[in-house]
Structures are given as structure tokens and as C-alpha cells.
Structure 1
Amino acid sequence: MGTTRTPRASWIEQGLRALATGGPDAVRIENLAQSLGVTKGGFYGYFRNRDALLTEMLDTWEYEVSDGIIEQVDRAGGDARARLERLFLLVAEAADGPVRGITADLAVRAWARHDAGVAERLRRVDNRRMDYLRSLFSEFCTDTDEVEVRCLLAVTVRIGNHFHAADDGIRSRADVMATIRKRLLS
């Protein structure tokens, strides 16, 4: 009877979890193997070394938070407002996910401050996100300045919401976020 190998995707996902909780230095083969409940020998069946894993983690993150989510939104069809609603919903649902979640996104952003290659990849992802938002907002908003404002607001609310610690006054954070979505789509 053969040994069942831990899937490649599990190593990548666990690596992204480690990145999200402790930064790139927390992505250690031995620690990942322990978290997965396997020996580190299985790692080398998929990856040459730690750097190869880090590259595949970033490849996975980049695809999932840009083209992967765009494909998912577009596949369901609808007009621009319907696709934006779906995008906002998918992003909210993935809030704590290991790949699409905001924690992984913030970890990549922190890493990018110290690594030029990661910074370039982050720039590419952010540009892809902004281009997609521009394409959608432009379908119902003809003012190019307004389109740019809506795109920047959508992205900065997504990122900044997780740093905002103040109370939301008489409304819940969920209510405030719903109002923001409604205004962006008006």
C-alpha cells in the first residue's frame, strides 16, 4: 500500500497561512510540515527549496486575487452593477481565507515594503484590480474622474477597513459597508 502524499496545494495554502500570521520569515519547511502533520520529506517532491515555495505562494495569491476572482465574477454574467455586487460579496466572503483573504493581502503588502520583486508583483495585482474596476464602473458612469474616485474608494475601503479601529457610531460596521457599496453603485 502506497503512502498518500500531501497535495501541493496544501503546502502552498499552509505557506500562505504562515505568511499571513508571521510574514515571510514564518514560512519554514519544518514548521509547515508540522502544521500539516507530515514529514518535511514530502515537501521536496514538489519544491526545489523554500524560495520555490515562496514563488508558488505568490503565484497562487496573485492569480486568486486578480484573474481568479475576475473570472468567477464574470462567469456569472450580468451588467456592471451586478458584477460589482458579486465582486464585493466575494471579497467580503473571503475576508479571512488563506489565499483571497485580507490577512494574506496585508501580509504581501508588508512583505513588498522590503522586497522589490514582491513589490512589483503587488503593483501588478493592484493595477489589474484597478483596471477591472475601471472597466465595470465605466459601464454606468461616464465621468472618468468619478470612475477613478470610485475605484480608489473601493480598493482603499477594502484595505483600510481592517486598520480602522474607531467605533462606527450609531450604525454597525456592516451597515456602513452596505451604505458604501450602495453609493459606489449609484
Structure 2
Amino acid sequence: MAQNKCSGQFCQNLSFLLTRVNILCNFVDQNKHTIQYGLLITRAGDMERSTQSTWLDEGFTILKKTGAAGLTIENLTRRLKKSKGSFYHHFKSRDDYSEKLLSFWERKQTFDIIEISRQEKTFDGINTKLLELSTKNLDPEIEVAIRAWALRDPQARAFQERIDKQRFDFLRQMFSLKTGDPDQAQTISFIRYCFYIGSQQLIPALDDRTYREILGVLMEMFEQYITPSPQEESP
């Protein structure tokens, strides 16, 4: 009797389990498209985990190789083996991507360098730090590509104009510590910045050692031209 009672309990449990399985199967069958879509999204998320910097880094690689014409969503997703959904997760549009790419470049090659250099208080200190940072971060191919982009695209042009103005204004402020003549500071800053741009436009661009050597000669010429500021003349 005990054995029959146990078997009866087992059958009851099995029947309950089969009922639940049947309910679950019906639910899956009725909602299979939703479930399959959810699984696809989950898998896609696992495969396409990326950061915004991943897309920006690839953009700079494209700029160096093919120029701004290669900065299409199709090209970016193909090169990174990502979906367009992954792109739109980080950027609202192609224009938004371009703005973030240019903003990153502006911050890295202008804001950060200027802010760190400003921590120095003397002309020699600022000039040394500026030269160190600008040559360390210098990537002539990207600088040239962005300038070429700015010739054809209003968005890139606005960024390039702002970058040039910020860099030039900083040089003028720096040379104002060296000379008491604002016109001299303006002229020397213009020559210095034109040399910086021209050194990148050459093919091939000047290497770091040559750039420093020529800049040293240029600075010696400036010394002969400059009227020292009162701070420079004081003992």
C-alpha cells in the first residue's frame, strides 16, 4: 500500500509538471517572434559592445588614410564589423559623429595643450612646455586631413577657424611676455604659427628633430627682432 501511495504521489507531481511545461510551450509558441527578437538583441549587444572612443579612433584612422570622404556610416560599421544600431547608440547622426570627432580633436590638440602650458608662469617655461606637448601629440596627417575637410565642409571649417584662433591667441599672449610691443607679439606669433602649419603640409612632414632645430633658429631670429618687455629687462 505504501508503494502504491508513493506511486500515486509521483504521478500527481508528474502530471502537475507536465501541465506547467505545456503552458510554457504554448506561451513560447504564441510569443516566439518576441522572444527570438529579444535573444537577437541580447546577442547583438554582446557582440557589439563598443565605446564612443572606438568609433572616434576609427574615424581618425579613416581620416589619415582616405580623408573625410571616407567618414560614412557604412564605411565605419564595415570596418569595425558593427551594426548601424551600434553606431546610433553613440551618435544621433553622421553630423553628430563629425561634431564629436572634431570636438575630441579640438580638446586634445588645443584645449589640453594650452591649459597645461598655462600652468607655467614665464615665457621660457610656457614655450618649453608648449613645444614638448605639441610635438608629442603632433599627428601631421590628421591635421592636414582636417584642414582639407574644412575647405569643403562648413562644420569642419567652423572648428578649424576656432582652433586656429585659440592657438594664435595663446601664442600672442605668450610672446607678449617676451616683448613690450603688441605689434611685435602679433607678428612673431603669426610667423611661428605659420611655420607650425607649414611643417605639417610638407610631404613628408618635418620630423620632430628637424622641426625643433629649425624652430630653434627661428627663435634666435626673434630674439634679435624683439624689444624686451619690462619683465624681461628686470634683473
Paired amino acid for 2:161: R
Distance in 1, Cα, partners of 2:63 & 2:154: 17
Tell me how far 1:185 sits from its aligned partner: 6.7
Tell me how far 1:122 sits from its aligned partner: 1.5
Tell me how far 1:41 sits from its aligned partner: 3.5
Structure 1 portions without partners, runs of 5+ = 96-100
1:117 to 152, 155, 159: 155
Greater mean alpha carbon deviation, residues 122-131 or residues 59-68:
59-68
Tell me how far 1:114 sits from its aligned partner: 1.4
**1:88 is the counterpart of 2:131:** yes
Tell me how far 1:33 sits from its aligned partner: 3.5
Aligned match of 1:129: 167
Distance in 1, Cα, partners of 2:118 & 2:199: 25
Tell me how far 1:61 sits from its aligned partner: 1.7
**1:116-154 Cα deviation digits (max 9, x unpaired):** 332222111111111111111101211222211211122
Tell me how far 1:59 sits from its aligned partner: 1.5
1:144-183 equivalences under 5 Å are: 144-164=182-202, 174-183=212-221
Structure with larger RCO (C-alpha < 8 A, sep 6+): 1
Aligned length: 177
Contact 1:14 1:32 in 2 (8 A): yes
Paired amino acid for 2:97: L
**1:32 is the counterpart of 2:70:** no
Change (3 A) 1:53 1:185: farther
Tell me how far 1:15 sits from its aligned partner: 1.1
Distance in 1, Cα, partners of 2:109 & 2:158: 15
Q: CA RMSD in A?
A: 2.9
Change (3 A) 1:172 1:11: closer
Tell me how far 1:165 sits from its aligned partner: 5.6
1:56 to 94, 100, 106: 100
Distance in 1, Cα, partners of 2:223 & 2:72: 43
Distance in 1, Cα, partners of 2:148 & 2:198: 14
User: Secondary structure of 1:128's match?
Assistant: helix
**1:6 is the counterpart of 2:44:** no
Change (3 A) 1:154 1:172: closer
2:87 to 43, 52, 59: 43
Calculate the TM-score normalised by the size of structure 2: 0.65
**1:139 is the counterpart of 2:174:** no
Paired amino acid for 1:73: S
Calculate the TM-score normalised by the size of structure 1: 0.79
Q: Which has the larger radius of gyration?
A: 2
2:111 to 49, 64, 67: 67
Tell me how far 1:47 sits from its aligned partner: 0.9
Structure 2 portions without partners, runs of 5+ = 1-41, 225-235
Change (3 A) 1:185 1:126: farther
